[in-house]
Amino acid sequence: MEDKILIFTDLDGTLLSENSYSYYKIIDFYNYISSHCIIIFNSSKTYSEIIELKRLTNDNYPFIVENGSALYIPENVSLNIPGKITKINNFNVVQLGVPVNKIVNFCSSKKLSEKYVSNCNFLYQMSLSKIVSLTGLNRSEVKKAKERNYSLPFIWRGSIELLNEFKLICQKNNFKILKGGRFFHLIGETDKGKALRALLSIYKQCHKNTRFTTIALGDNQNDKDMLIEADFAGIVKSESKSLMNFRRSKNVFISEKISPEGWKEVLVKMPPIKNLL
């Protein structure tokens, strides 16, 4: 039986520097690992943002957008995908979340708008210059970040108590609020862990004689679901946030360095990766 490693990785603050959004410091290590493992970006980023990064990594691996909302699988990858798919450019797309217009419609009710939505400063409502100042992205990158198909990122201006109320209302209506690095994200009833399970299931169905080992790498609260799901979990130290509260004791590796060096640091500690070095 063949062994294969699937690495599900967050991007900003995990693989990419929180400030420069680059991984050039570990590019040789990244390329080596990419030649031996399937590296799957599992990010809050949009399709447009990840496609731009894919031009640098130059691989043919699937990726996951907007906090587990959709799987993008290249058409020329030999995976038979069950259920309904959509074709976008050269990708087969499996939707796990909900279209963004449904989220907008949910937020437009008068009752929600007056008490909760009025405390949300949504990304799509912000000017380009405002987002540039918040994120450090350039204007071209900001435009790609605003091209949301499945999520509404926002900055919360209300109290914690009011936010928790809003979260409960969202859950009752089959929506979810996740905390990312700079923004909260209002999405459908999905997450990065659900997306990991869905893509792993597709790989297993199509490669029955392959034994898959899963690794998840992240730095933030919205990464917890995939960190719990994976066989091995790597937590990359954050420059701006305290270490996440994470209830798992086995096969968890934590970096001393921040991204991108922390990405390499946690991987080289893991037995499946040690065997490749």
What pLDDT was estimated at residue 162?
Answer: 97
Instruction: Examine the domain organization and report whether 184 and 196 are in the same domain.
Output: no
Mean pLDDT of the chain: 95
Q: Based on the domain organization, do 195 and 75 belong to the same domain?
A: yes
Which residues lie closer than 8 Å to 84 by C-beta, 6 or more apart? 94, 95
CATH number, residue 121: 3.30.980.20
Which residue, among 138, 135, 185, 180, has the nearest Cα to 19 in the 3D structure?
135
Q: Do 118 and 146 sit in the same domain of this protein?
A: yes
Whole-number pLDDT of residue 248 = 78
- Are 46 and 161 in a shared domain? no
- Residue 218: CATH number of its domain: 3.40.50.1000
Closest-CA residue to 36 (of 3, 81, 82): 3
- Contact of 156 with 163, CB cutoff 8 Å: yes
Scan for tokens 């998840």, then name that residue.
Answer: 216
Q: Could you give the number of structural domains in the chain? A: 2
Q: Is 219 a catalytic residue?
A: no
Check whether residue 47 and residue 24 sit in a common domain: yes
pLDDT at 243: 64
Low-confidence ranges of the chain (pLDDT < 50): none
**pTM (global) more than 0.85:** yes
Q: 112 and 60 share a domain?
A: no
Q: Which structural domain, as residue segments, surrounds residue 169?
A: 100-188
How confident is the model at residue 242, as a pLDDT? 64
Q: So what's the pLDDT on residue 114? A: 85
pLDDT of residue 161: 97
Question: Do 175 and 203 fall within a single domain?
Answer: no
Q: Measure the CA angle with vertex 115, ends 112 and 118; round to 5°.
A: 85
- Give me the catalytic one of 10, 191, 219, 225: 10
* pLDDT of amino acid 232: 98
What is the model's pLDDT at position 240? 67
Domain boundary among 171, 188, 205: 188
pLDDT the model gives residue 249: 79
